[in-house]
């Protein structure tokens, strides 16, 4: 295979991210809230959502974030939203879904469409797989994937060992989107994920929750708070930095 005709910028140092702010391209976000994100000290912005990841919405959000002081990553959950511009492309795989479609089938399907058309332009070094454990039964991702959200800390530890040590995936994401999760389960994941970075997201609405999650997670993700109380984001950043 010949070398890519495109030279992409180097990937940002995602291993150093302690605090990440997740923005949903499908949700309206005012200028004041965006300014609060920029001023918060967060390490990176991730665009992601379980619904509404249209090409137009993602391109619009990327344009608004052109002046971001921190790297902007894109969680690629639909084929149409895979557009150039982000500093990093996160590829979600759902470990605890019963259908292997969410653990590779959907991604291979997407590649089967992309490879023949723009294969030589794919920035492979900017793609980063995330091994998700989806744990809030009421979140959209759980409804879409049918994830088994009732797993125990021991079950989560086994998934973490499989992802981090056997499959050697770089990230294990403990996802409680919308609700604050079980810290014993997060601890079990951290203790068994081997070299993988452990990411936690879900229900962080104050410094207190951010501090608790940051005890076990390498990276803490805050989403809803930006839309509800953006002025509190900075205190979650301060809390994870200890």
Residues forming contacts to ligand 1GP in the complex (CB under 6 A) are: 22, 175, 177-178, 201-204, 221-225
For ligand 1GP, the closer CB: 164 or 203: 203
Q: Are the C-beta atoms of 193 and 161 separated by less than 8 Å?
A: yes
The sign of the CA dihedral 186, 29, 140, 54 is negative
Q: Which residue is nearest to ligand 1GP (CB)?
A: 201
User: Residue 95 to residues 62, 110, 153: CA-CA distances in angstroms?
Assistant: 29, 18, 14
Shortest distance in whole angstroms from residue 112 CB to ligand 1GP? 27
- The separation between CA 170 and the C-alpha centre of its own chain, rounded to angstroms, equals 12
Shortest distance in whole angstroms from residue 204 CB to ligand 1GP? 5
- For the chain, the 3-state helix, strand and coil shares in percent, each to the nearest 5, are 45, 15, 35
CA gap 23, 34 in Å, rounded: 10
For ligand 1GP, the closer CB: 149 or 224: 224
Shortest distance in whole angstroms from residue 135 CB to ligand 1GP? 10
CA gap 7, 1 in Å, rounded: 16
For ligand 1GP, the closer CB: 51 or 56: 51
For ligand 1GP, the closer CB: 223 or 230: 223
200: which strand partners? 174, 220
Shortest distance in whole angstroms from residue 62 CB to ligand 1GP? 18
CA gap 41, 37 in Å, rounded: 8
For ligand 1GP, the closer CB: 22 or 190: 22
For ligand 1GP, the closer CB: 8 or 227: 227
Nearest to 18 by CA among 44, 37, 39, 40: 44
Shortest distance in whole angstroms from residue 80 CB to ligand 1GP? 20
Nearest to 216 by CA among 197, 235, 237: 197
For ligand 1GP, the closer CB: 42 or 177: 177
Shortest distance in whole angstroms from residue 46 CB to ligand 1GP? 8
The phi and psi torsions of 202 (rounded to 5 degrees) equal: 140, 115
Shortest distance in whole angstroms from residue 47 CB to ligand 1GP? 11
């Amino acid at each position: 295979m010949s070398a890519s005709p495109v030279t992409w910028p180097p990937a940002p140092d995602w291993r150093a991210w302690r605090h990440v702010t997740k923005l949903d391209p499908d949700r309206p976000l005012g200028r004041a809230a965006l300014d609060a994100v920029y001023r918060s000290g967060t390490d990176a912005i991730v665009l992601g959502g379980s619904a509404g990841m249209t090409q137009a919405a993602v391109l619009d959000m990327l344009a608004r974030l052109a002046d971001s002081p921190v790297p902007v990553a894109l969680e690629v959950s639909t084929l149409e939203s895979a557009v150039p511009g982000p500093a990093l492309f996160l590829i979600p795989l759902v470990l605890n879904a019963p259908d292997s479609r969410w653990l590779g089938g959907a991604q291979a399907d997407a590649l089967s469409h992309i490879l023949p058309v723009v294969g030589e332009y794919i920035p492979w070094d900017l793609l980063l797989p995330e091994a998700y454990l989806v744990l809030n039964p009421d979140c959209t991702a759980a409804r879409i994937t049918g994830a088994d959200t009732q797993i125990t800390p021991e079950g989560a530890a086994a998934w973490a060992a499989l992802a981090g040590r056997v499959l050697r995936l770089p990230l294990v994401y403990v996802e409680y989107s919308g609700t604050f999760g079980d810290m014993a389960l997060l601890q079990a994941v951290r203790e068994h994920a081997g070299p993988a970075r452990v990411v936690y997201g879900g229900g962080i609405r104050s410094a207190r929750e951010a501090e608790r999650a940051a005890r076990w997670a390498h990276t803490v993700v805050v989403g809803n708070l930006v839309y509800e109380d953006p002025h509190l984001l900075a205190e979650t950043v301060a809390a994870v930095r200890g």
